[in-house]
Amino acid sequence: MPRPHSTTNPDLALVIGATGKTGRRVAQRLRQRGVPTRAVSRSSAISFDWDDHDTWEAAVRGASVAYVTYSPDLAVPAAPPAIARFAELAERRGIERLVLLSGRGEEEAQRCERIVLDANPRSTVVRCSWFAQNFSESFFQEPLRSGLLALPAGDVAEPFVDADDIADVAVAALTETGHEGEIYEITGPRLLTFPDAVQEIAIAAGRDLRFERIPMQAFAEAMQLQGEAEDLIALVRYLFETVLDGRNAYVADGVQRALGRQPRDFSDYARTAAAAGAWAPDGQIAGGAVAAERRGSTAAAAEEATP
């Protein structure tokens, strides 16, 4: 049963990672509600770079709440000290509360959650399962467009969550009372394996899309050949071998607790993304709605980086 909430529109909301899968949705929703929003990333006019502390002060100035996404992932060793330093700065600069995007089953991410809640108990943690949008706005999109997604995963099921649900929960926590101190575990409403997910996408896209399970070592070697950095390869290895070992193969009720409604089903997500052209065959995507939307939102986030 969700707690009663009342709206408290913030004076200025800071959104970190505002061109990303969740940040751009959060910034969009805040602006639609008329909340003054400072949307930042490394590419915004007021830039914010987790690796450059000198950029943090200007981003934080005057903000009353902040949506915090850490890149590349809260699971990397650099995350806890950076989050601790940021939470301390936010406290000094009078930010009333933080909403931290986190991941399930990651020791370092859970450490970051504790750091944020200890620094500011009015904050909220949005702890998520793997995003559905990984298939349409991230690493899995290109292989799917070409017809084959090959990953070191297979039998383990995951309750993929829709980034729109994540954004709804984050915006509620930024603009309403009643979410202070909460750790919302946010998942989709049902478990799917990767082959299940690709099957649903194939039906939605009306295409013959295949999933193939490959050994982790082959996957890592392919990343090496593509010139990917060793720390990114280590992160991917950790995500597939450790986080995806079955520890997260259960659904959670964070969306219901935060919003009083059910989370969106993967098939709804797949239908909408397919209709927007997410998995149009290679060569047909250039004019696709998703590409256009993403370019537009990136530009908008950069343009509207002030206040």
Q: Give the amino acid at 288.
A: G
Among 66, 90, 99, 103, which residue sits at the site for ligand NAP (rule: CB under 6 A)? 103
Nearest-approach distance from CB 74 to ligand NAP, in angstroms: 5
Q: How many residues does the chain have?
A: 307
Contacts of 261 (CB under 8 A, 6+ apart): 255
Q: Closer CB to ligand NAP, residue 17 or residue 188?
A: 17
**Residue 51 found at the interface with ligand NAP (CB under 6 A):** yes
Amino acid at 250: Y
Among 15, 48, 108, 115, which residue interacts with ligand NAP (rule: CB under 6 A)?
48
Is residue 164 close enough to count as binding ligand NAP by CB under 6 A? no
CA 127/CA 100 separation, integer angstroms:
8
131 lies in the site for ligand NAP, by CB under 6 A: yes
Question: Which residue is at the shortest CB distance from ligand NAP?
Answer: 20
Q: Would you list the DSSP string of 107-164?
A: HHHHHHHHHHHHH-TT-EEEEE--BGGGGTSSTTHHHHHHTEEEES--S--B--B-HH
Rule CB under 6 A: choose which of 41, 64, 136, 187 binds ligand NAP. 41
Handedness of CA 149, 153, 159, 161 (dihedral sign): negative
Is the CB of 80 or the CB of 178 nearer to ligand NAP? 80
Among 99, 48, 106, smallest CA distance to 73 is for 106
Binding of ligand NAP at residue 143 (CB under 6 A)? no
Contact status: 20 vs ligand NAP (CB under 6 A): yes
* From 37, 64, 69, 175, residue interacting with ligand NAP (rule: CB under 6 A): 69
Count Cβ atoms within 10 A of the Cβ of residue 287 and give its class: 0-12 exposed, 13-18 middle, 19 or more buried: exposed
Q: Which stretch binds ligand NAP (CB under 6 A): 69-77, 87-95, 202-210, 215-223?
A: 69-77
Give least dist CB 128 to ligand NAP, A: 4
Q: Among 35-43, 146-154, 220-228, 259-267, which window interacts with ligand NAP (CB under 6 A)?
A: 35-43
Instruction: Tell me how far CA of residue 211 lies from CA of 94, 156, 246, 273, in angstroms.
Output: 49, 14, 19, 18
User: Does 22 sit near ligand NAP (CB under 6 A)?
Assistant: yes
Residues near ligand NAP, by CB under 6 A: 17-23, 41-43, 48-51, 69-71, 73-74, 101, 103, 128, 130-131, 134
